Chain A
């Protein structure tokens, strides 16, 4: 009896190991062609109320020249209550800019480091290298 059981088990094991996928039904793993840039867009530390500091821009360009000329490949719709922004990009070098402004009245913004006072803009500009299949996290550092 045991002999029959072992024989059946051996046969099944043999069949299983001989199984091959039908041609054309192999699992297709999509080829990764992009990387991800995550920008942790934290507001710069200031002595001003946090509700009066606003994110106004987060744009990405292929080169410093394009960034300067406003030839962006992507711009995020930025929010006061959202700090993490994701961009799916082809591998390569990119330049990004992040801008914040201040809406305090009087000269508070000026003394808080915003050039020109109210609605003056502080910028953070940097370069980032996107690698295939990798998530790169950046935090803009404001001057």
Chain B
């Protein structure tokens, strides 16, 4: 029995001691957002400071951020081969207003670098905080462009939204993608008296389909098309009229991180405002990529125009050919 107690005491004496930190440091956590844009030469990082988690944070959709006020070095590693990465250093940007674009908040500081991300290549984003002797980092594999099968920019092929037919979008999903937005954009001229306004009517959908390389079929319902038009455009009187001057189709494909970010916690006004998913180590935020594809010079069919201009249900919007 004595041996047993001696053994227990010995175990206690030689056991390790781990500090469990219940409360976070009160100097805040870096909050970083970077969505690499395959179709742009300028890549941006947004950086701020958060004291998240704060009291009652689970009830909030939005992360409260403050200005980042410590020195920081930001760079991206591009691993095109397994030996020597290309390194792109970010510098602080003052030319672009910080309250525009994604993750809009004036507290975010903007950093920029110039390069075009390559699809299917792995990128690491590092933020070095010398005062803290700490790296925050994340990685992503850059997304490709989707192949747009339908609609197709074939002269003569027109798009019909009618009571008898809906439109089916066909996309071949790119590698490393997880979230897709696609829509028809109708460029609309609105003539009211001597005033001319230009407007964009956006009709589309989004999909969280992650079956990379496979076909995505999505039905855009004609009744929703007309319903959205009716809820957007009011009655015009007199000689006022509207004219559709162009139709285009745009897609945005985002990386898998964006899918997680949106899908897991998509309960706010804007998907990027919900701050619960993070792709960063030693920090908080999102590192992902996106592509943008655009098909222009599409046409609505004669039938669609006739419905818009002459059908009693829609004629009050006064669209003309």
List the interface of chain A (C-beta within 8 A of B): 54-57, 59, 70-81, 87-88, 99, 101, 103, 119, 121
User: Does any Cβ of A come within 8 Å of B150's Cβ?
Assistant: yes
User: Does any Cβ of A come within 8 Å of B202's Cβ?
Assistant: no
User: Does any Cβ of A come within 8 Å of B64's Cβ?
Assistant: no
Q: How many residues of B contact A (CB 8 A)?
A: 22
* Given A56-B157, A57-B157; A77-B303 close (CB under 8 Å): no
User: Does any Cβ of A come within 8 Å of B158's Cβ?
Assistant: yes
User: Does any Cβ of A come within 8 Å of B165's Cβ?
Assistant: yes
Please list 14 pairs of residues, one from A and one from B, whose beta carbons are closer than 8 Å in the complex, sorted by A's number. Answer: A56-B158, A70-B306, A72-B303, A72-B306, A73-B303, A75-B162, A75-B302, A77-B166, A77-B168, A79-B150, A79-B168, A88-B164, A119-B155, A121-B156
Main secondary structure of the interface of B (DSSP, over half): mixed
Cβ 8 A contact of B303, one of A75, A79, A121: A75
A38 shortest CB reach to chain B, Å: 14
Interface digits, B207-248 against A, CB 8 Å rule (1 contact, 0 not)? 000000000000000000000000000000000000000000
Distance A52 CA – B317 CA, assembled complex (angstroms): 39
Considering only residues 274-304 of chain B, those with a C-beta below 8 Å from chain A are 301-304
* Given A57-B156, A70-B302, A119-B155; A75-B170 close (CB under 8 Å): no
Cβ 8 A contact of A59, one of B149, B167, B170, B302: B302
> Cβ of B167 and Cβ of A77 under 8 Å apart?
yes
User: Does any Cβ of A come within 8 Å of B159's Cβ?
Assistant: yes
Interface digits, B165-189 against A, CB 8 Å rule (1 contact, 0 not)? 1111010000000000000000000
User: Does any Cβ of A come within 8 Å of B152's Cβ?
Assistant: yes
* Given A72-B303, A74-B165; A54-B154 close (CB under 8 Å): yes
B167 and chain A: residue at smallest CB distance: A77
* Given A119-B155, A119-B156; A59-B303 close (CB under 8 Å): yes
Residues of A within 8 A of B159 (CB): 77
Q: Which 4 A-B pairs have the closest CB atoms?
A: A56-B156, A70-B302, A56-B157, A75-B303
B156 and chain A: residue at smallest CB distance: A56
User: Does any Cβ of A come within 8 Å of B160's Cβ?
Assistant: yes
B221 shortest CB reach to chain A, Å: 12
Residues of A within 8 A of B301 (CB): 59, 72, 75
B24 shortest CB reach to chain A, Å: 55
Distance A75 CA – B222 CA, assembled complex (angstroms): 13
Residues of B within 8 A of A101 (CB): 154-157
Residues of B within 8 A of A75 (CB): 158, 160, 162, 165, 301-304
A29 shortest CB reach to chain B, Å: 24
Residues of A within 8 A of B162 (CB): 74-75
Distance A67 CA – B1 CA, assembled complex (angstroms): 104
A71 shortest CB reach to chain B, Å: 7
> Cβ of A77 and Cβ of B160 under 8 Å apart?
yes
Distance A89 CA – B168 CA, assembled complex (angstroms): 22
B270 shortest CB reach to chain A, Å: 32
> Cβ of B156 and Cβ of A99 under 8 Å apart?
yes
Residues of A within 8 A of B156 (CB): 56-57, 99, 101, 119, 121
> Cβ of A87 and Cβ of B150 under 8 Å apart?
no
Residues of A within 8 A of B152 (CB): 54, 80
Distance A72 CA – B165 CA, assembled complex (angstroms): 13
A82 and chain B: residue at smallest CB distance: B168
A72 shortest CB reach to chain B, Å: 5
B50 shortest CB reach to chain A, Å: 48
Cβ 8 A contact of A56, one of B149, B154, B166: B154
Distance A76 CA – B166 CA, assembled complex (angstroms): 9
> Cβ of A78 and Cβ of B157 under 8 Å apart?
yes
Residues of B within 8 A of A72 (CB): 301-303, 306
B311 shortest CB reach to chain A, Å: 12
A6 shortest CB reach to chain B, Å: 61
> Cβ of A76 and Cβ of B155 under 8 Å apart?
no
